[in-house]
């Protein structure tokens, strides 16, 4: 069974601070997706990384896929209260298997 | 197309009753997934369809759970004889077929069994 471990589990920071959350596995994934989920809502896709070493930027969010395609990180610069939510990473392994999710990092950005 | 749609958004039921949820995927997506999410956890895979064929079922899916996608469009998830442990958010997602295609989620159905 492929497992994704996310850390930290909880993170509470002040507005304007930078942060990094991690998604690690002992398994190789063909791609990795990051989602943000707000209470009572479904996860919303932020980005998909496919190539080992790939870096993608989405405004203040920077996503990186590890060279070996076993891990990923999400870095947020100058966090804002609107960034508050549950950040989930999900791994895919080819086209015939469903996504495997980590437990998520719950981020709280305090104004 | 407005994305993946799930109904109802909330359901409260008494223990032992049957419930059915519906999911309408993005129209051009031929894959449909059901996940369950409990408080503090990430989504756990339940089952998925490619068109009308149910390709995989998780061991989490007990005999009381059944899912269908009769015409390869919308899907239903039925839980029979609900138990308090079934209380969770039930999420539906859809995607196109192919390697590394992206999955898009609905807003979920929150089930509370009392």
* Residue-wise pLDDT tens digits, A69-84: 999 999 999 999 999 9
Q: By CB neighbour count within 10 A (0-12 exposed, 13-18 middle, 19+ buried), where does B101 fall? A: middle
Q: Which residue of B has its CA nearest to A85?
A: B40
pLDDT score at B67: 97
Distance from CA of A48 to the nearest CA of B (A): 7
Of residues A1 and B88, which shows the higher confidence score? B88
CB-CB neighbours of B7 under 10 Å: 14
Neighbouring C-alpha atoms within 13 Å toward the C-beta of A52: 6
Paired residues of A6 in beta bridges: A23
Interchain proximity A101–B43, CB inside 8 Å = yes
pLDDT score at B100: 65
Residue A110 token pair: 């305090």
Q: Per mean pLDDT, which range of A16-20, A66-70, A92-96, B31-35 is the poorest? A: A92-96
Answer for the pair B74, B20: CB distance below 8 angstroms, yes or no.
Answer: no
- Residue in B67, B59, B71 with CA at minimum distance from that of residue B22: B67
Distance from CA of B4 to the nearest CA of A (A): 10
Only one residue has tokens 């996504």, namely A99
pLDDT score at A77: 98
pLDDT score at B97: 81
Q: Which residue of A has its CA nearest to B3?
A: A44
The DSSP 8-state label assigned to residue A11 in this structure reads E
Model confidence at A94, pLDDT cuts 50, 70, 90, reads confident
Q: By CB neighbour count within 10 A (0-12 exposed, 13-18 middle, 19+ buried), where does A40 fall? A: exposed
Rounded Cα gap, residues B86 and B107, in angstroms: 18
In chain A, what residues touch B107 (CB-CB under 8 Å)? 41-42
Percent of chain A clearing pLDDT 90 (strictly above): 86
Q: Flag whether pLDDT at A97 surpasses 80.
A: no
Interchain proximity A99–B45, CB inside 8 Å = yes
Percent of chain A clearing pLDDT 70 (strictly above): 96
pLDDT score at B96: 86
pLDDT score at A95: 65
Q: pLDDT digit of tens for each residue in chain B (114 aa)?
A: 579 999 999 999 999 999 999 999 999 899 999 999 998 889 999 999 999 999 989 988 889 999 999 988 999 999 999 999 999 999 999 998 876 678 999 999 999 999
Model confidence at A3, pLDDT cuts 50, 70, 90, reads confident
């Amino acid at each position: 069974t492929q497992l994704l471990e996310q850390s930290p589990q909880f993170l509470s920071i002040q507005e304007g601070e930078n942060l990094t959350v991690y998604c690690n596995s002992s398994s190789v994934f063909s791609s990795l997706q990051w989602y943000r989920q707000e209470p009572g809502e479904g996860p919303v896709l932020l980005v998909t990384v496919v190539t080992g070493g790939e870096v993608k930027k989405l405004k203040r969010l920077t996503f990186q896929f590890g060279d070996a395609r076993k891990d990923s990180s999400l870095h947020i610069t100058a966090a804002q209260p609107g960034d508050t939510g549950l950040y989930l990473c999900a791994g895919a392994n080819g086209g015939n298997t469903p996504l495997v999710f980590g437990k998520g990092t719950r981020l709280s950005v305090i104004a | 197309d407005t994305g993946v749609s799930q109904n109802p958004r909330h359901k409260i039921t008494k223990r032992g009753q049957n419930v059915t949820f519906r999911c309408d995927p993005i129209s051009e997506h031929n894959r449909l997934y059901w996940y369950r999410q409990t408080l503090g956890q990430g989504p756990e895979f339940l089952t998925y369809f490619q068109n009308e064929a149910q390709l995989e079922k998780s061991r989490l899916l007990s005999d009381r759970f059944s899912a269908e996608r009769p015409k390869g469009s919308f899907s239903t998830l039925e839980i029979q004889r609900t138990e308090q442990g079934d209380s969770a958010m039930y999420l539906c997602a859809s995607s196109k077929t192919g390697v590394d295609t992206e999955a898009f989620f609905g807003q979920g159905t929150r089930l509370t069994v009392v």
